[in-house]
Each structure stands twice: as structure tokens, then as C-alpha cells.
Amino acid sequence: MPELPEVETTRRGIAPHLIGRRITSVVLRRPDLRWPIPPEVGALLPGQRIEEVERRAKYLLLHTQVGSALLHLGMTGVLRVLPPDAPVGKHDHVDIALEATTVGARILRFTDARRFGCLLWQPPGTTHELLENLGPEPLTDAFDGDLLWHLSRGRTAAVKLFLMDNAVVVGVGNIYASEALFAAGIDPRRAAGSVSRARYARLAAEVKRILAWAIERGGTTLRDFINPDGMPGYFVRELQVYGREGEPCRTCGTAIRQVVLGQRSTFWCPRCQK
């Protein structure tokens, strides 16, 4: 599943081809993805200029004057900028055609084999319900250790589940939560309310470091092979705990353990993480 770094890498890849360009037509090869595609997408987008390409959590927004297309890649979604005559495959569900420039005409194509992705509509001046009640972006100043500390007081849920709660902070998926907790030396099973302010400061810093690193690497390696968990190959080689049950901790040699928290596999080192 594409995680925040892959979605941000996608945004950075497509934005220069889209911003400032006018949409000439929209081709919807099916009426729905995960949810029905609202009629505004086909009716209002043609003729509009794309003003900005924004990422919020794992959503991408194509902003125009009359409203915004809201996209989520789901499990298997891919967005590519292609020449208009690119052959259409079975899972190429949406094409957004762009006016020609000196490099020729282009289409933005949304491909999604499993169709857990979505294409929705956000009228101008409104916030789509899927974007309401989201916590801050992890790579902004609004996210820090103090925020985690304040929000966690009195919470008995495991700190890993707290960190993965989109109302606390968006985009910290299972892999990144496991790795950040290892880097911060915090046992993922510990009650969120029992983690000190100083340790949350360390955790927030590690979340930022790991996500920023993944985004930076993603920029050049997105076309590398993607393993069945959806992780780019470069990332698998760097993992400290995720997917390493029974293998020696890279820091202390103790066998990495696995437990299921909130239906998700969690990995930690019993010696390095307290």
C-alpha cells in the first residue's frame, strides 16, 4: 500500500506537469472506484486550469477555480503522466487530458488494479469529509513531541496505535511507526499516557527523520521493484525491526520480537525498547 512517502513522491513527480495547465477532457472508463465518481469530475473539470497539486495525509488534491479533484491511491493505485496515445490497459480507469505545451499533449492516468482508490470532488471553500478531523502533517512544525505528550495524557492505548491514529498525526503507517519507536527506544506496547515528554520529543524527531529520508530516497527509486508489502526495495534493506522477527537486533543482537497490536504486526527489540 502506498504510504505517505510514496504519495508525496507521486505528488512531486506529477505536479510540474500539471500546475498551470488546462484540462481539455476527462475520460472515466468506469463509474466508480472504491466509491462512485461524482458527476462534477467529468462535468466541471474540462476547461479548468490546475492551480495547485496538494497532498493532505495520503490524499492528493488537484485544485481548480471551480473545485478540487480528490484522489487516494488505495492499495494499488498509480498516477502517471503519459502521452495521450499511451495504450490503455485493463486497470487504467481514469485519464485527465491536459492541453499541449512545447513538450506536446499529456494525460494524467489513474491506474488501480484492486480499486480501493478513489476519485472524489471537493467544492471550492469546503473541506471534504474525508479530510475533516485529521491531525497535523508529520513534517510540519505543528507536529512535535509536545503535541504527542498533551494528546496522550490519560490514554491507555498502546503508544504505537496512538502514533498511527490519524486524529493525532496523519500518515504514520505501520512500518514507519515500528521503525520510529525503535529509533526512539520506546516499547510499542507501552501505554501512550505513560511516555514522558522528553521521550515524545525524541519520537517526533525520529518520525520526521524517517519519513523525510523515505521521501528523499523515493524521489529517485520509485521505479525500483516494490515488494508484496508495497515497500520499495531500498527501504526493506534499511529496516531495523519491521519484518525481522527472530533476527538479531542490529544494535544489540537480541532477537527481534513480534506481537499483533490493533490487528497489525508490530516488531520491537526487547532490550533496546523500554
Contact residues for Zn ion, defined by CB under 5 A: 249, 251-252, 254, 269, 271-272
Q: Which of 34, 80, 257, 264 is catalytic?
A: 264
d(CA 4, CA 164): 12
Q: Which of 3, 8, 137, 206 is catalytic?
A: 3
Q: How far is the CB of 272 from Zn ion (least distance, A)?
A: 3
Q: Which amino acid is at 104?
A: G
8 Å CB contact between 24 and 18: no
Annotated binding site: 91, 114, 155
Q: How far is the CB of 143 from Zn ion (least distance, A)?
A: 27
**Alpha-helical runs (H) found in 117-186:** 145-152, 159-163, 174-184
Annotated binding site for DNA: 91, 114, 155
Length of the chain: 274
For 196-249, give the DSSP string: -HHHHHHHHHHHHHHHHHHHHHHHHHTTS-B-TTS-BHHHHHH-SSTT-TTSBP
Q: How far is the CB of 60 from Zn ion (least distance, A)?
A: 37
- Nearest in space to 150 (alpha carbons), one of 208, 187, 193, 207: 193
Between residues 97 and 272, which has the closer beta carbon with respect to Zn ion? 272
To the query of whether residue 58 is one of the catalytic residues in this protein, the response is yes
d(CA 176, CA 7): 14
Q: How far is the CB of 252 from Zn ion (least distance, A)?
A: 3
d(CA 76, CA 71): 13
Give the three-state DSSP class for 162. helix
Between residues 18 and 241, which has the closer beta carbon with respect to Zn ion? 241
Q: How far is the CB of 181 from Zn ion (least distance, A)?
A: 12
To the query of whether residue 2 is one of the catalytic residues in this protein, the response is yes
Between residues 98 and 249, which has the closer beta carbon with respect to Zn ion? 249
d(CA 216, CA 129): 30
**What CA–CA distances, in Å, run from 130 to 19, 21, 127, 254?**
24, 27, 8, 42
Which residue lies nearest Zn ion, judged by its C-beta? 249
Q: Which of 55, 58, 106, 160 is catalytic?
A: 58
Between residues 69 and 269, which has the closer beta carbon with respect to Zn ion? 269
d(CA 175, CA 241): 9
8 Å CB contact between 106 and 161: no
d(CA 168, CA 153): 12
d(CA 15, CA 109): 13
Between residues 65 and 254, which has the closer beta carbon with respect to Zn ion? 254
Catalytic site residues?
A: 2-3, 58, 264
